[in-house]
Structure 1
Amino acid sequence: MHAMQYEFTLPADYDMGAVRGRVARVGHLLDDWEGLGAKAYLIRERGVHGSPVNQYAPFYLWDTMAGMNSFLWGGPFQKPCGDFGRPSVRQWTGLAYEEGGAAGSPARVAVRRRQLVPDGVELAAVMGDAVREAGRLAAEDGAVLAAAVVDSSRWEVVHVSLWARDEPKADGEVFQVLHLSAPGLSALPRGRQW
């Protein structure tokens, strides 16, 4: 499993209805994308769920590198680049993925929590804790899915969870989920990824 996210931070007075309309028109285009586990079309609105910004920030879980590369180099990624400018694309290696008890329910919100890995710690212990946290989040009432991923260039663990409720049982930045394309969700390996 591989994860990816990019963010378009928009002006404070930007009409987020335009992003909602865009996702309503094109969100279905990845509903059958080869190699994609899931794409959550995420937004944050200034003042909603404590967000200081307006932002469009889709998050992806990829089952294959070929699917991700096809999307980035020859696929739909060019369209938002043309409309908003080319963003920095963050990529993470998968540590764990778990299906939640509300799997199959529409996801309403997503939570992203970043955690720096301090120098001098035992990496296996930190990554093991991340795997257990993904399992804990997935077991919470209302969880659709939970994933833990790591960026070893920044030594940052990121937890992402999707929720079928507006009040998630997770701490972090809260995003609204406008659409979830999940053509290969069942193909994503469950549990620890090593």
Structure 2
Amino acid sequence: MHAMQYEITLPADYDMGIIRERVATRGHLLDAFPGLGLKAYLVREREDGSPVNQYAPFYLWTTPEGMNSFLWGPGFQGIVNDFGRPVVQHWTGVSYEEGPAATSAPRTATRRRTPLGEGVPPGEAVADAVARHASEARTDGVVASAVGGYPPRWEGLAYPVGASVFGGGGGGGAGPPPPPDEGERFRVLHLSAPGRAGLGAGRRRW
């Protein structure tokens, strides 16, 4: 499993309806993409309390071939044509879990990035993250959740996707952003999940 995300930060006065229309008309194009476990079409908006307007899709790939086919093919080129070439962040998949709300449509996602201290053995950090992830994934309202690692910065990533809206701000009810230790929150506009069943459950084997 490979986790991937890119962020397209947009002007403060950008009409985010353009992004919603883009997802509504094009999101289905990856609903059967080979090698894709799932893609959550994520946005965060200033009118919901976010510091930025941003389109930030998150991917879980079941095969590197699928990821390569997307990045070097017409799928990602469409992003480059319309917004320029964003930095693509990539994490090694560590664990994936389905939550109690697995059959519900996802509506929100939270990204938590945690640096690993210099004195922390990587294997112990992974074991702790997997154990914590298994517990957090059982939280009410969780649709699915993934944990990844980024060795170049020794950073851990946790990404639960939920079925309920957080708060009640203008623009759809996202409310204010969470405290920094709770992560960055996004709204899910669409979920393409052709290979979700193939993501399995629990810690990745290596």
Would the aligned equivalents of 1:135 and 1:146 in 2 still touch at CA under 8 Å? no
Structure 1 residue 167: Cα displacement: 2.8
Is residue 2:178 matched to residue 1:179? no
* Distance in 2 of aligned mates of 1:100 and 1:75: 33
Runs of 4+ in 1 over 3 A off after TM superposition: none
Farther-moved stretch of structure 1 (127-136 vs 4-13): 127-136
Q: Deviations over 1:102-137 (max 9, x none)?
A: 112110000000000110112111111111222122
What letter is aligned with 2:12? A
Partner of 1:139: helix, strand, or coil?
A: coil
State how 1:1-150 maps to structure 2 within 5 Å. 1-48=1-48, 50-150=49-149
SS of 1:127's equivalent?
Answer: helix
Q: Partners in 2 of 1:153 and 1:66 — Cα distance?
A: 22
TM-score, structure 1 as length reference: 0.96
SS in 2 for 1:76: helix
Q: Is the 8 A contact 1:131 1:192 kept in 2?
A: yes
1:51 aligns to what SS in structure 2?
A: coil
Q: CA contact under 8 A between 1:114 and 1:157: conserved in structure 2?
A: yes
Aligned length: 193
AA at the equivalent of 1:192? R
Which 5+ residue runs of structure 1 have no aligned equivalent?
none
Tell me the distance in 1 between the aligned counterparts of 2:116 and 2:47: 30
Cα distance, 1:156 vs. partner?
0.7
Post-superposition Cα deviations, 1:56-87, rounded to whole Å, max 9, x if no partner, equal 00000000000000001013110011100000
Counterpart of 1:167, as a letter, is F
Match of 2:202 in 1: 191
Q: Whole-Å Cα distance in 2 between the matches of residues 137 and 147 of structure 1?
A: 11
Q: Name the aligned partner's letter for residue 127 of structure 1.
A: V
TM-score, normalization by structure 2: 0.90
2-structure distance, mates of 1:111, 1:57? 12
The Cα RMSD (Å) is 1.5
Give the distance between the partners of 1:130 and 1:75, measured in 2 at CA: 35
Alpha-carbon distance, 1:15 to partner: 0.5
CA distance in 2 between partners of 1:22 and 1:174 (Å): 21
Q: Contact conserved, 1:40 with 1:58, CA < 8 A, in 2?
A: yes
For structure 2, the 5+ residue unaligned runs are 168-177
| Aligned mates of 1:189, 1:154 — CA distance in 2 | 27
